[in-house]
């Protein structure tokens, strides 16, 4: 099995941010030491970086799930958590990064180019960082944000100046081995080449690369054979060299028909514009190579068909990889085409500014100077109005909030109010009790909106970890207070009636009124006796 993989689906996850710490300094003779909880560390990013020593995506075929390290949590005594290191994934030159819908995210063609596939989550602030002149000892800290989770498709498109195309066993591998230092597998059976081979050629002052693409057959553009899978490696090439076998013994095959079949397959193949070259394959410069002329019958056939190709306007070269006949002329002809293409590219770049430094591409976020911080979208669920708040800050604040801590929830309400969410909900027509959702469905938080929860938690002197605004305080109405008063009076009357019934039944020897009068007279007698004694 070939150890070459040129397309993988990679599941990347950035490291999670560490949680902030809630801590208060406790030291003898210093009762007001203040908060000293440290911040959490940032999670590591997952970065794709072009490495000159990497030639295949095989590693990610076997290990498609890549997770960066999580950030460390904060601790007391102002001990901040460490930031996790980034996870660097080396990729070959010519790697195109796409999303699952096929949209191009990055085209990595130069050594050192980077793409941040998944950003790590930021760490949560400790209560020391949240302290202010009015909130001197916060009883809460912010949570770390989980890292991004993305699925990206990596496609490798070889960066070669010239591509060799042709039928299986046409001698493409032998040709690239004869004109360069490449050593591909060579055998006398079809489909010997299962992976693209690259070779570097020096012709005069021009150095260029040549790619040997696996053999094409009729129907390759529709998925037949192995050629369709590797045709993407031809897309970046400046020129195509058709290698034709003049010594084939297969029936119904000749150099003209072989060329027409391969040309038809190249014409049916749609070039992906992400390759950086949008010129169709058949419209690029082409050279015809009549191979294996060291065989007498092949030499005769090559001399016979050469004028036919020249009548079509192609440059034709008769070569032999065994005797190296005609190879020098071929390499200089390819160098001439490559040099002309490079001059055309330099001329096209004169009016454009091209950065020569390493390119680092990061995913675009929601936040922009020209956009508002959030939007409110009115929806309907179960015939009831629902207001959805979408924005980078509100969604991040939701992830940072510990909803088991009332003070943290109150701090969230203050932040949303300062951002203007409260005012925008009023303008959108929200009333008390309406459902408000922050975020998308996957990680949304739903709550019933209470307009009374406005900013001002700094002015509330509630115990740490609590917020009096979240306590359910219900003031009774005047009718309710009147009903409660009558209930108490009725209860007292029933108690007196019960005691009187017990006295009549003989349980008590005197009535309640007589007992009360007796106690009062006895108290007066004791007080009079004390006065006479003095």
204 is in an annotated binding site: no
Tokens of 234: 């031809």
221 is in an annotated binding site: no
6 is in an annotated binding site: no
215 is in an annotated binding site: yes
212 is in an annotated binding site: yes
331 is in an annotated binding site: no
194 is in an annotated binding site: yes
306 is in an annotated binding site: no
131 is in an annotated binding site: no
DSSP 243: E
172 is in an annotated binding site: yes
d(C-alpha 195, C-alpha 214), whole Å: 6
Handedness of CA 221, 222, 226, 229 (dihedral sign): positive
180 is in an annotated binding site: no
In 261-290, which positions are buried (b, 16+ CB within 10 angstroms) versus exposed (e)? bbbebbeebebbebbebeeebeebbbbbbb
The DSSP line for 414-473 is: HHHHHHTHHHHHHHTT--TT-EEEES-SSS-EEEE--TT--S-GGG--PPTT--GGGS--
Which 3 state secondary structure label does DSSP give 281?
helix
322 is in an annotated binding site: yes
What are the distances in angstroms from CA 183 to CA 136, 189, 292, 341, 532? Answer: 72, 17, 19, 27, 132
291 is in an annotated binding site: yes
> Any bridge partners for residue 165, and if so which?
242
122 is in an annotated binding site: no
167 is in an annotated binding site: yes
d(C-alpha 270, C-alpha 279), whole Å: 10
Query: Which is nearest to 500 in space by CA: 485, 484, 516?
Result: 516
Q: Which helix (H) or strand (E) holds 165?
A: strand 162-165
Contact criterion met (CB below 8 Å) for 36 and 78? yes
321 is in an annotated binding site: yes
Which 3 state secondary structure label does DSSP give 312?
coil
213 is in an annotated binding site: yes
314 is in an annotated binding site: no
Q: Which residue ranges make up the annotated binding site for GTP?
A: 166-173, 191-195, 212-215, 291-294, 320-322
Q: Which residue ranges make up the annotated binding site?
A: 166-173, 191-195, 212-215, 291-294, 320-322
Q: Which residue ranges make up the annotated binding site for Mg(2+)?
A: 173, 193
């Amino acid at each position: 099995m070939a150890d070459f993989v040129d397309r993988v689906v990679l599941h990347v996850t950035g490291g999670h941010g560490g949680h902030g710490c809630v801590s208060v300094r406790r030291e003898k003779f210093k009762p007001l030491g203040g908060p000293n909880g440290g911040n959490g560390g940032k999670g590591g990013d997952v970065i794709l970086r072009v490495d000159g020593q990497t030639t295949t995506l095989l590693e990610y075929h076997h290990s498609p799930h890549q997770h960066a390290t999580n950030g460390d949590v904060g601790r007391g005594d102002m001990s901040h958590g460490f930031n996790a290191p980034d996870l660097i994934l080396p990729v070959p030159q010519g790697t195109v990064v796409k999303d699952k819908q096929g949209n191009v995210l990055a085209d990595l063609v130069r050594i050192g180019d980077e793409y941040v596939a998944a950003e790590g989550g930021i760490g949560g602030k400790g209560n020391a960082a949240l302290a202010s002149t009015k909130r001197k000892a916060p009883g809460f800290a912010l949570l770390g944000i989980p890292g991004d989770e993305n699925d990206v498709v990596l496609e490798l498109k070889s960066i070669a100046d010239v591509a060799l195309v042709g039928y299986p066993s046409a001698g493409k591998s032998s040709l690239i081995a004869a004109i360069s230092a490449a050593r591909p597998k060579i055998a006398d059976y079809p489909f010997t080449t299962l992976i693209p081979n690259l070779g570097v050629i020096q012709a005069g002052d021009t150095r260029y690369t040549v790619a040997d693409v696996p053999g094409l057959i009729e129907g390759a553009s529709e998925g037949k054979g192995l050629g369709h899978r590797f045709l993407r490696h031809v897309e970046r090439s400046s020129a195509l060299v058709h290698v034709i076998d003049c010594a084939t013994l297969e029936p119904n095959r000749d150099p003209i028909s072989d060329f027409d079949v391969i040309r038809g397959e190249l014409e049916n193949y749609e070039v992906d514009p992400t390759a950086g070259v949008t010129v169709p394959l058949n419209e690029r410069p082409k050279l015809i190579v009549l191979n294996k002329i060291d065989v007498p019958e092949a030499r005769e056939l090559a001399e016979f068909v050469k004028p036919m190709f020249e009548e079509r306007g192609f440059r034709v070269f008769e070569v032999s990889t065994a005797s190296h006949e005609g190879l020098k002329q071929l390499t200089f002809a390819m160098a001439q085409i490559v040099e002309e293409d490079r001059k055309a590219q330099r001329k096209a770049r004169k009016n454009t500014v091209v950065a020569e430094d390493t390119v680092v591409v990061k995913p675009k976020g929601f936040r922009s100077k020209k956009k508002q911080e959030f939007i409110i979208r009115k929806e309907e669920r179960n015939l009831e109005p629902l207001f959805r708040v979408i924005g980078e800050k509100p969604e991040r604040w939701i992830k940072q909030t510990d909803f088991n801590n009332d003070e943290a929830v109150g701090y969230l309400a203050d932040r949303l109010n300062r951002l203007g969410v409260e005012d925008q909900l009023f303008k959108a027509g929200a009333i008390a009790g309406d459902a408000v959702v922050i975020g998308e469905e996957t990680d949304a938080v739903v709550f019933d909106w209470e307009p009374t929860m406005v900013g001002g938690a700094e002015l509330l002197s509630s115990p740490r970890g609590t917020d009096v605004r979240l306590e359910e305080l219900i003031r009774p109405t005047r009718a309710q207070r009147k009903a409660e008063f009558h209930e108490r009076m009725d209860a007292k009357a029933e108690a007196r009636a019960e005691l009187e019934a017990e006295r009549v039944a003989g349980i008590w020897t005197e009535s309640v009124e007589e007992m009360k009068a007796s106690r009062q007279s006895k108290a007066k007698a004791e007080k009079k006796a004390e006065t006479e004694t003095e």
